[in-house]
A and B are shown apart, each in its own frame.
Chain A
């Protein structure tokens, strides 16, 4: 089966600029996750969607980050304006449903560098 797709794979921007990432989950997967992975750390959940509704966005810096999944399929994550500390790999994952017993499948990630 086709895996989770993300684009772009790499992005370099200057601080205070805006950037957007796109994710296409595995077909039929209702739950979509965005993780931030800073170098040397494990992934940290930013936001979780169930279909087009937000389940958990407690760790999303809402003053600069936003995410949407309007039709319950693709999702975009936006940063506006970017800061140096936003340099990280942004991972998208999807699963059939919520709950720990639904395996999460990860995309290849988008590596963001903020100069």
Chain B
């Protein structure tokens, strides 16, 4: 069964400092991994997906299959980055076809202090 682990419930940094939110996964196939974010009083929304290899709001995440990790990084944190962040995995499914089901980690609350 697939599993997503975010070891830190809380993470605090100062503005301008680098930030890394950790995510580890267990999955027997080839995973599709995502980061979702929920800002205060807003809906859960997609931040980025590993397949796109994109940088969103200065955040990047690299899939490391050897370490089964998908850590989210930003070199210079901003106060507006304060939010709840969830790592999520999509898969597995009958015949190897993903039906889009997401398995979420427990989430990390990021607080960026001025």
Q: Which residues of A contact B (CB under 8 A)?
A: 3, 31, 33, 40-45, 48, 50, 55-56, 91, 95, 97-109
| Other A-B pairs beyond A42-B86, A100-B98, A109-B43, 17, CB < 8 Å | A3-B43, A33-B100, A33-B101, A42-B4, A43-B86, A48-B99, A56-B99, A95-B100, A97-B100, A98-B99, A100-B32, A100-B51, A101-B32, A101-B51, A102-B100, A105-B45, A106-B43
Known: A42-B4, A98-B100. A107 touches B106 (CB 8 A): no
A41 touches B43 (CB 8 A): no
A106 touches B106 (CB 8 A): no
B43 touches A108 (CB 8 A): yes
A48 touches B104 (CB 8 A): no
A91 touches B51 (CB 8 A): no
Please, how many angstroms separate the alpha-carbon atoms of A3 and B51 in the complex? 25
Q: Which residues of A contact B98 (CB under 8 A)?
A: 98-100
